[in-house]
Protein backbone atom coordinates (compact mmCIF):
# COMPACT_ATOMS: atom_id res chain seq x y z
CA UNK A 1 0.00 0.00 0.00
CA UNK A 2 1.57 3.28 -1.07
CA UNK A 3 1.26 6.34 1.16
CA UNK A 4 -1.00 8.94 -0.45
CA UNK A 5 -1.28 11.58 2.26
CA UNK A 6 0.39 12.64 5.50
CA UNK A 7 -1.60 15.19 7.49
CA UNK A 8 -0.40 16.98 10.64
CA UNK A 9 -3.29 17.98 12.92
CA UNK A 10 -2.96 20.23 15.96
CA UNK A 11 -5.49 19.51 18.70
CA UNK A 12 -6.08 22.03 21.47
CA UNK A 13 -8.61 22.16 24.27
CA UNK A 14 -11.17 24.88 23.65
CA UNK A 15 -11.05 26.04 27.25
CA UNK A 16 -9.87 29.61 27.67
CA UNK A 17 -6.21 29.99 28.54
CA UNK A 18 -5.36 26.36 27.80
CA UNK A 19 -2.80 26.85 25.00
CA UNK A 20 0.07 25.00 26.66
CA UNK A 21 2.04 21.96 25.56
CA UNK A 22 0.08 19.84 28.05
CA UNK A 23 -3.24 20.86 26.51
CA UNK A 24 -1.99 20.46 22.94
CA UNK A 25 -1.44 17.37 20.82
CA UNK A 26 0.07 17.03 17.37
CA UNK A 27 -1.59 14.09 15.65
CA UNK A 28 -0.37 12.72 12.33
CA UNK A 29 -2.83 10.95 10.06
CA UNK A 30 -1.39 8.78 7.28
CA UNK A 31 -3.65 7.61 4.46
CA UNK A 32 -2.72 5.06 1.79
CA UNK A 33 -3.85 4.98 -1.82
CA UNK A 34 -6.48 2.35 -1.01
CA UNK A 35 -7.88 4.43 1.87
CA UNK A 36 -6.26 2.74 4.89
CA UNK A 37 -5.75 5.18 7.77
CA UNK A 38 -3.21 5.18 10.59
CA UNK A 39 -2.44 7.57 13.42
CA UNK A 40 0.77 8.72 15.05
CA UNK A 41 1.73 11.50 17.43
CA UNK A 42 4.50 14.11 17.46
CA UNK A 43 5.91 16.14 20.36
CA UNK A 44 4.66 19.75 20.80
CA UNK A 45 6.57 21.43 23.68
CA UNK A 46 7.21 25.05 22.61
CA UNK A 47 7.80 24.04 18.99
CA UNK A 48 4.28 23.47 17.70
CA UNK A 49 4.71 25.50 14.52
CA UNK A 50 8.16 24.13 13.66
CA UNK A 51 7.08 20.52 14.29
CA UNK A 52 3.89 21.03 12.27
CA UNK A 53 5.93 22.34 9.34
CA UNK A 54 8.55 19.62 9.75
CA UNK A 55 5.85 16.97 9.36
CA UNK A 56 4.86 18.54 6.06
CA UNK A 57 8.48 18.42 4.88
CA UNK A 58 9.20 14.89 6.09
CA UNK A 59 5.96 13.78 4.43
CA UNK A 60 7.58 14.55 1.07
CA UNK A 61 10.00 11.72 1.76
CA UNK A 62 7.23 9.24 2.58
CA UNK A 63 4.42 9.97 0.10
CA UNK A 64 4.42 7.43 -2.72
CA UNK A 65 6.34 4.85 -0.72
CA UNK A 66 5.08 1.46 0.44
CA UNK A 67 3.71 1.89 3.95
CA UNK A 68 4.84 -1.63 4.97
CA UNK A 69 8.50 -0.89 4.22
CA UNK A 70 9.17 0.95 7.47
CA UNK A 71 12.88 0.11 7.63
CA UNK A 72 13.53 1.20 4.06
CA UNK A 73 11.45 4.35 4.47
CA UNK A 74 13.24 5.38 7.67
CA UNK A 75 16.69 4.93 6.17
CA UNK A 76 15.73 6.67 2.94
CA UNK A 77 14.67 9.71 4.96
CA UNK A 78 17.80 9.42 7.11
CA UNK A 79 19.83 9.62 3.89
CA UNK A 80 17.81 12.51 2.45
CA UNK A 81 17.55 14.68 5.55
CA UNK A 82 21.24 14.57 6.50
CA UNK A 83 20.50 16.30 9.85
CA UNK A 84 17.91 13.82 11.16
CA UNK A 85 20.11 12.77 14.09
CA UNK A 86 20.55 16.45 15.03
CA UNK A 87 17.03 17.78 14.50
CA UNK A 88 14.35 17.25 17.10
CA UNK A 89 11.71 18.55 14.68
CA UNK A 90 12.64 16.11 11.93
CA UNK A 91 13.02 13.27 14.42
CA UNK A 92 9.58 13.69 15.98
CA UNK A 93 7.96 14.13 12.55
CA UNK A 94 9.61 10.93 11.33
CA UNK A 95 8.58 9.11 14.50
CA UNK A 96 4.94 10.12 14.12
CA UNK A 97 4.77 8.96 10.51
CA UNK A 98 6.47 5.70 11.46
CA UNK A 99 3.97 5.03 14.27
CA UNK A 100 1.08 5.72 11.90
CA UNK A 101 2.64 3.32 9.38
CA UNK A 102 2.78 0.54 11.97
CA UNK A 103 -0.84 1.33 12.86
CA UNK A 104 -1.81 0.77 9.23
CA UNK A 105 0.22 -2.43 8.93
CA UNK A 106 -1.44 -3.83 12.05
CA UNK A 107 -4.87 -3.00 10.69
CA UNK A 108 -3.97 -4.56 7.34
CA UNK A 109 -2.94 -7.80 9.03
CA UNK A 110 -5.60 -7.70 11.73
CA UNK A 111 -3.02 -7.68 14.54
CA UNK A 112 -1.94 -5.32 17.32
CA UNK A 113 1.61 -4.03 17.04
CA UNK A 114 2.84 -6.32 19.80
CA UNK A 115 2.11 -9.35 17.60
CA UNK A 116 4.15 -7.83 14.78
CA UNK A 117 7.10 -7.47 17.16
CA UNK A 118 7.24 -11.10 18.28
CA UNK A 119 4.40 -11.31 20.76
CA UNK A 120 3.87 -9.95 24.24
CA UNK A 121 5.79 -11.07 27.30
CA UNK A 122 3.12 -9.65 29.64
CA UNK A 123 -0.64 -9.15 29.53
CA UNK A 124 -0.54 -6.06 31.75
CA UNK A 125 2.03 -3.27 31.67
CA UNK A 126 3.17 -1.93 35.06
CA UNK A 127 3.13 1.86 35.22
CA UNK A 128 4.20 4.68 37.50
CA UNK A 129 2.23 7.86 38.13
CA UNK A 130 3.33 11.26 36.94
CA UNK A 131 1.48 14.58 36.80
CA UNK A 132 -0.12 13.94 40.19
CA UNK A 133 1.58 16.73 42.20
CA UNK A 134 -0.12 19.78 40.70
CA UNK A 135 0.10 22.81 42.99
CA UNK A 136 2.21 20.96 45.57
CA UNK A 137 4.70 23.18 47.37
CA UNK A 138 4.87 22.24 51.05
CA UNK A 139 5.85 18.78 52.29
CA UNK A 140 2.26 18.42 53.51
CA UNK A 141 0.98 19.16 49.97
CA UNK A 142 3.15 16.43 48.51
CA UNK A 143 2.26 13.93 51.23
CA UNK A 144 -1.49 14.46 50.83
CA UNK A 145 -1.40 14.07 47.05
CA UNK A 146 0.92 11.06 47.29
CA UNK A 147 -1.57 9.28 49.55
CA UNK A 148 -4.28 9.90 46.95
CA UNK A 149 -2.10 8.34 44.26
CA UNK A 150 -1.54 5.22 46.33
CA UNK A 151 -5.28 4.99 47.02
CA UNK A 152 -5.79 4.86 43.24
CA UNK A 153 -3.71 1.68 43.26
CA UNK A 154 -0.35 3.00 42.06
CA UNK A 155 2.75 1.34 43.49
CA UNK A 156 5.24 3.84 42.05
CA UNK A 157 5.19 7.61 41.59
CA UNK A 158 7.56 10.24 40.24
CA UNK A 159 7.92 13.89 41.18
CA UNK A 160 10.23 16.90 41.04
CA UNK A 161 10.87 18.30 44.55
CA UNK A 162 13.32 21.05 43.53
CA UNK A 163 11.04 24.01 42.88
CA UNK A 164 12.58 26.87 40.90
CA UNK A 165 16.23 25.88 41.29
CA UNK A 166 18.19 25.77 38.04
CA UNK A 167 21.81 24.72 37.41
CA UNK A 168 22.79 25.03 41.06
CA UNK A 169 21.13 24.43 44.41
CA UNK A 170 21.96 25.87 47.81
CA UNK A 171 21.44 24.54 51.33
CA UNK A 172 17.99 26.08 51.55
CA UNK A 173 16.96 24.27 48.37
CA UNK A 174 18.46 21.00 49.57
CA UNK A 175 16.55 21.21 52.85
CA UNK A 176 13.27 21.99 51.08
CA UNK A 177 13.73 19.13 48.60
CA UNK A 178 14.61 16.66 51.34
CA UNK A 179 11.58 17.65 53.41
CA UNK A 180 9.28 17.00 50.45
CA UNK A 181 10.86 13.65 49.62
CA UNK A 182 10.82 12.60 53.26
CA UNK A 183 7.14 13.54 53.51
CA UNK A 184 6.27 11.45 50.47
CA UNK A 185 8.28 8.46 51.67
CA UNK A 186 6.58 8.56 55.06
CA UNK A 187 3.17 8.99 53.42
CA UNK A 188 3.45 6.03 51.02
CA UNK A 189 5.62 3.66 53.07
CA UNK A 190 8.56 1.55 52.00
CA UNK A 191 6.69 -0.66 49.54
CA UNK A 192 5.93 2.09 47.04
CA UNK A 193 8.67 3.25 44.66
CA UNK A 194 9.46 6.94 44.65
CA UNK A 195 11.24 8.25 41.56
CA UNK A 196 13.01 11.61 41.59
CA UNK A 197 12.75 13.89 38.56
CA UNK A 198 15.45 16.54 38.05
CA UNK A 199 14.42 17.62 34.53
CA UNK A 200 18.06 17.69 33.46
CA UNK A 201 18.72 21.11 34.93
CA UNK A 202 21.60 20.82 37.45
CA UNK A 203 25.35 20.97 37.20
CA UNK A 204 27.23 17.90 38.41
CA UNK A 205 28.24 19.29 41.82
CA UNK A 206 24.67 20.26 42.70
CA UNK A 207 23.30 16.94 41.43
CA UNK A 208 25.81 15.03 43.58
CA UNK A 209 24.82 17.02 46.67
CA UNK A 210 21.18 16.20 45.92
CA UNK A 211 21.97 12.50 45.58
CA UNK A 212 23.80 12.35 48.89
CA UNK A 213 20.94 14.17 50.62
CA UNK A 214 18.18 11.95 49.18
CA UNK A 215 19.76 8.50 48.98
CA UNK A 216 18.48 7.58 52.47
CA UNK A 217 14.91 7.62 51.08
CA UNK A 218 15.75 4.81 48.65
CA UNK A 219 14.59 6.37 45.38
CA UNK A 220 14.06 3.93 42.52
CA UNK A 221 16.00 6.19 40.19
CA UNK A 222 17.26 9.73 39.71
CA UNK A 223 16.02 11.04 36.37
CA UNK A 224 18.20 13.37 34.29
CA UNK A 225 20.23 14.58 37.27
CA UNK A 226 22.44 16.80 35.08
CA UNK A 227 21.93 18.70 31.83
CA UNK A 228 21.21 16.25 29.02
CA UNK A 229 24.29 17.06 26.94
CA UNK A 230 26.66 17.25 29.94
CA UNK A 231 28.39 13.91 29.42
CA UNK A 232 31.38 14.92 31.53
CA UNK A 233 29.07 15.94 34.38
CA UNK A 234 27.15 12.67 34.08
CA UNK A 235 30.36 10.65 34.32
CA UNK A 236 31.30 12.63 37.42
CA UNK A 237 27.86 11.97 38.91
CA UNK A 238 28.04 8.24 38.20
CA UNK A 239 31.49 7.99 39.78
CA UNK A 240 30.43 9.70 43.02
CA UNK A 241 26.96 8.34 43.69
CA UNK A 242 25.41 4.90 44.01
CA UNK A 243 21.90 5.80 42.88
CA UNK A 244 20.49 4.56 39.59
CA UNK A 245 20.36 7.05 36.73
CA UNK A 246 17.39 7.21 34.35
CA UNK A 247 17.51 9.25 31.14
CA UNK A 248 16.63 9.13 27.49
CA UNK A 249 13.56 11.22 26.69
CA UNK A 250 15.69 13.64 24.66
CA UNK A 251 17.49 10.97 22.64
CA UNK A 252 16.61 11.17 18.95
CA UNK A 253 18.60 8.34 17.37
CA UNK A 254 19.60 4.73 17.90
CA UNK A 255 23.31 5.59 17.91
CA UNK A 256 22.85 8.32 20.52
CA UNK A 257 21.06 5.86 22.80
CA UNK A 258 23.79 3.30 22.17
CA UNK A 259 26.47 5.78 23.28
CA UNK A 260 24.93 6.36 26.71
CA UNK A 261 24.48 2.61 27.20
CA UNK A 262 28.00 1.65 26.10
CA UNK A 263 29.56 4.37 28.24
CA UNK A 264 27.74 3.06 31.32
CA UNK A 265 25.98 6.38 31.88
CA UNK A 266 22.44 5.03 32.26
CA UNK A 267 20.84 2.31 34.37
CA UNK A 268 17.25 2.80 33.20
CA UNK A 269 16.82 4.01 29.64
CA UNK A 270 13.81 6.22 28.85
CA UNK A 271 13.42 6.37 25.07
CA UNK A 272 10.40 8.24 23.73
CA UNK A 273 8.69 6.56 20.78
CA UNK A 274 7.51 9.92 19.47
CA UNK A 275 10.99 11.32 18.93
CA UNK A 276 13.57 8.53 18.79
CA UNK A 277 12.27 7.11 15.50
CA UNK A 278 8.93 5.51 16.21
CA UNK A 279 8.47 1.77 16.53
CA UNK A 280 11.13 1.05 13.91
CA UNK A 281 14.03 2.54 15.87
CA UNK A 282 12.66 1.79 19.33
CA UNK A 283 12.64 -1.99 18.73
CA UNK A 284 16.37 -1.81 18.04
CA UNK A 285 17.11 0.36 21.07
CA UNK A 286 15.28 -2.09 23.34
CA UNK A 287 17.56 -4.91 22.25
CA UNK A 288 20.71 -2.83 22.66
CA UNK A 289 19.63 -2.04 26.21
CA UNK A 290 18.68 -5.64 26.96
CA UNK A 291 22.08 -6.90 25.76
CA UNK A 292 23.76 -4.49 28.18
CA UNK A 293 21.53 -5.27 31.19
CA UNK A 294 19.93 -1.82 31.06
CA UNK A 295 16.25 -1.63 31.94
CA UNK A 296 13.73 0.39 29.92
CA UNK A 297 11.04 2.82 31.13
CA UNK A 298 9.60 4.60 28.10
CA UNK A 299 9.08 8.34 28.38
CA UNK A 300 5.34 8.82 27.90
CA UNK A 301 4.24 12.33 28.81
CA UNK A 302 2.31 13.81 25.88
CA UNK A 303 -0.90 12.31 24.54
CA UNK A 304 -3.13 9.27 24.31
CA UNK A 305 -1.80 8.04 20.95
CA UNK A 306 1.73 8.06 22.30
CA UNK A 307 0.42 6.26 25.38
CA UNK A 308 -1.30 3.60 23.28
CA UNK A 309 1.74 2.75 21.17
CA UNK A 310 4.01 2.86 24.24
CA UNK A 311 1.79 0.22 25.86
CA UNK A 312 2.08 -1.95 22.75
CA UNK A 313 5.88 -1.77 22.73
CA UNK A 314 6.12 -2.17 26.52
CA UNK A 315 4.22 -5.44 26.12
CA UNK A 316 7.14 -6.95 24.16
CA UNK A 317 9.95 -5.41 26.23
CA UNK A 318 11.48 -8.13 28.40
CA UNK A 319 13.71 -5.61 30.21
CA UNK A 320 10.86 -3.23 31.06
CA UNK A 321 11.18 -1.44 34.40
CA UNK A 322 7.95 0.59 34.39
CA UNK A 323 6.01 2.70 31.88
CA UNK A 324 5.48 6.36 32.67
CA UNK A 325 1.81 7.23 32.90
CA UNK A 326 -0.05 10.57 32.93
CA UNK A 327 -3.35 9.00 31.92
CA UNK A 328 -5.28 9.72 35.12
CA UNK A 329 -4.08 13.35 34.98
CA UNK A 330 -4.79 13.93 31.29
CA UNK A 331 -7.46 16.47 30.39
CA UNK A 332 -10.62 14.46 29.72
CA UNK A 333 -10.50 15.02 25.96
CA UNK A 334 -7.21 13.13 25.66
CA UNK A 335 -8.87 10.06 27.18
CA UNK A 336 -11.96 10.58 25.03
CA UNK A 337 -9.75 10.66 21.93
CA UNK A 338 -9.13 6.90 22.41
CA UNK A 339 -12.55 6.21 23.95
CA UNK A 340 -10.83 5.67 27.31
CA UNK A 341 -9.54 2.28 26.14
CA UNK A 342 -6.32 2.32 28.19
CA UNK A 343 -7.41 2.84 31.83
CA UNK A 344 -5.03 2.20 34.70
CA UNK A 345 -6.10 -0.44 37.20
CA UNK A 346 -4.00 -1.43 40.22
CA UNK A 347 -0.87 0.20 38.80
CA UNK A 348 -1.18 -1.71 35.49
CA UNK A 349 -2.67 -1.21 32.04
CA UNK A 350 -4.15 -4.18 30.20
CA UNK A 351 -2.54 -4.52 26.78
CA UNK A 352 -5.22 -3.78 24.13
CA UNK A 353 -5.74 -6.35 21.37
CA UNK A 354 -7.24 -4.16 18.64
CA UNK A 355 -5.22 -4.05 15.40
CA UNK A 356 -2.46 -1.47 15.05
CA UNK A 357 -1.85 0.78 18.04
CA UNK A 358 -4.54 -1.13 19.93
CA UNK A 359 -7.16 1.60 20.29
CA UNK A 360 -9.88 3.25 18.25
CA UNK A 361 -9.53 6.95 17.41
CA UNK A 362 -12.41 9.36 17.91
CA UNK A 363 -12.27 11.11 14.55
CA UNK A 364 -15.26 13.29 15.37
CA UNK A 365 -13.38 14.69 18.36
CA UNK A 366 -10.36 15.36 16.18
CA UNK A 367 -12.47 17.60 13.99
CA UNK A 368 -13.96 19.36 17.01
CA UNK A 369 -10.55 20.12 18.55
CA UNK A 370 -8.63 20.81 15.36
CA UNK A 371 -6.76 24.12 15.61
CA UNK A 372 -4.25 26.19 13.68
CA UNK A 373 -0.65 25.89 14.87
CA UNK A 374 0.26 29.00 16.82
CA UNK A 375 3.26 30.01 18.94
CA UNK A 376 2.73 29.11 22.58
CA UNK A 377 3.33 31.80 25.17
CA UNK A 378 6.59 31.58 27.09
CA UNK A 379 5.32 31.65 30.64
CA UNK A 380 6.94 32.08 34.02
CA UNK A 381 6.69 28.34 34.49
CA UNK A 382 8.82 26.36 32.00
CA UNK A 383 6.93 23.87 29.83
CA UNK A 384 8.11 20.89 31.87
CA UNK A 385 6.72 22.16 35.18
CA UNK A 386 3.71 20.31 36.56
CA UNK A 387 1.03 23.01 36.72
CA UNK A 388 1.29 25.45 39.59
CA UNK A 389 4.40 24.11 41.29
CA UNK A 390 6.69 26.89 40.05
CA UNK A 391 4.54 29.99 40.34
CA UNK A 392 3.62 29.47 43.95
CA UNK A 393 7.25 29.70 45.01
CA UNK A 394 7.04 33.43 44.34
CA UNK A 395 9.88 33.39 41.82
In a domain, 364, yes or no: no
The pLDDT of 281-291, averaged and rounded, is 98
Task: Inform me whether the pLDDT recorded for 386 exceeds 90.
Answer: no
**Whether residue 139 is found in the same domain as residue 74:** no
In terms of Cβ atoms closer than 10 Å to its own Cβ (0-12, 13-18, 19+), residue 262 is exposed
Q: Is 176 helix (H, G, I), strand (E, B) or coil?
A: helix
In a domain, 277, yes or no: yes
| Percent of the chain at pLDDT exceeding 90 | 92
Banded pLDDT at 129 (limits 50, 70, 90): very high
Distance CA 71, CA 254 (A): 13
Summarised one tens digit per residue, pLDDT across range 346-379 is 999 999 999 999 999 999 999 999 999 998 888 8
The pLDDT of 226-236, averaged and rounded, is 97
**Whether residue 136 is found in the same domain as residue 81:** no
Selected residue with higher pLDDT from 386 and 266: 266
Q: In this structure, what DSSP letter does residue 388 have?
A: T
In a domain, 86, yes or no: yes
**Whether residue 96 is found in the same domain as residue 139:** no
In a domain, 373, yes or no: no
Count of structural domains, the chain: 2
Distance CA 114, CA 353 (A): 9
Task: Inform me whether the pLDDT recorded for 18 exceeds 90.
Answer: no
Interhelix angle 231-240/204-214, nearest 10 degrees: 30
pLDDT score at 20: 67
Summarised one tens digit per residue, pLDDT across range 187-204 is 999 999 999 999 999 999
**Whether residue 78 is found in the same domain as residue 182:** no
Which residues lie closer than 8 Å to 220 by C-beta, 6 or more apart?
A: 156, 193, 194, 195, 244
In a domain, 363, yes or no: no
Q: Which of 111, 134, 154 delimits the end of a domain?
A: 111
| Percent of the chain at pLDDT exceeding 70 | 96
**Whether residue 149 is found in the same domain as residue 22:** no
Distance CA 181, CA 197 (A): 11
Q: How many C-beta atoms surround the C-beta of residue 190 within 10 A?
A: 10
**Whether residue 62 is found in the same domain as residue 127:** no
**Taking the alpha carbons of 269, 300, 120, 67 in that order, is the dihedral positive or negative?**
negative
The pLDDT of 167-184, averaged and rounded, is 98
The pLDDT of 320-325, averaged and rounded, is 98
Q: Which of 67, 96, 111 delimits the end of a domain?
A: 111
**Whether residue 86 is found in the same domain as residue 150:** no
In a domain, 371, yes or no: no
pLDDT score at 381: 82
Q: Is 191 helix (H, G, I), strand (E, B) or coil?
A: coil
* Spatial CA neighbour of 28 closest among 74, 110, 94, 84: 94
> Is the distance from CB of 105 to CB of 40 less than 8 angstroms?
no
> Is the distance from CB of 65 to CB of 38 less than 8 angstroms?
no
Summarised one tens digit per residue, pLDDT across range 49-82 is 999 999 999 999 999 999 999 999 999 999 999 9
**Whether residue 24 is found in the same domain as residue 73:** yes
**Whether residue 18 is found in the same domain as residue 63:** yes
Length of the chain: 395
> Is the distance from CB of 38 to CB of 5 less than 8 angstroms?
no
pLDDT score at 394: 46
Q: Which of 65, 94, 111 delimits the end of a domain?
A: 111
CATH assignment at residue 103: 3.30.390.10
> Is the distance from CB of 352 to CB of 115 less than 8 angstroms?
no
Summarised one tens digit per residue, pLDDT across range 144-171 is 999 999 999 999 999 999 999 999 999 9
By annotation, the residues acting in catalysis are 199, 299
**Whether residue 49 is found in the same domain as residue 181:** no
Task: Inform me whether the pLDDT recorded for 13 exceeds 60.
Answer: yes
Task: Inform me whether the pLDDT recorded for 391 exceeds 80.
Answer: no
The pLDDT of 331-352, averaged and rounded, is 97
pLDDT score at 19: 59
In a domain, 366, yes or no: no
Range of the domain at 126: 115-357+379-393
pLDDT score at 3: 98
Which residues lie closer than 8 Å to 346 by C-beta, 6 or more apart?
A: 153
Task: Inform me whether the pLDDT recorded for 17 exceeds 90.
Answer: no
pLDDT score at 395: 42
Label each residue of 13-39 as H, E or C: CCCCCCCCHHHEEEEEEEEECCCCEEE
Banded pLDDT at 282 (limits 50, 70, 90): very high
Tell me the average pLDDT of the chain: 95
Half-sphere exposure of 175 (CA within 13 A, CB side): 3
**Whether residue 55 is found in the same domain as residue 120:** no
CATH assignment at residue 271: 3.20.20.120
* Spatial CA neighbour of 91 closest among 40, 24, 19: 40
Beta bridge mates, 37: 31
Amino acid sequence: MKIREVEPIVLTSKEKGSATWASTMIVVRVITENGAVGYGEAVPTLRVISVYNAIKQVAKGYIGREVEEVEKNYHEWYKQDFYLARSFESATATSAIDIASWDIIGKELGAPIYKLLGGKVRDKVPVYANGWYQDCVTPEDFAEKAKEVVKKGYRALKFDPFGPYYDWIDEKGLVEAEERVKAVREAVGDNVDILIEHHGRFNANSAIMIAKRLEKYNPGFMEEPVHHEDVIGLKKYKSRTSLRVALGERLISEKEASFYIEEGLVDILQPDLTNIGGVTVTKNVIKIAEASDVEVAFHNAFGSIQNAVSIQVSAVTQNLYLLENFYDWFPQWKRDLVYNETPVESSHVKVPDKPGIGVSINEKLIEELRAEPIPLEVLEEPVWVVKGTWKRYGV
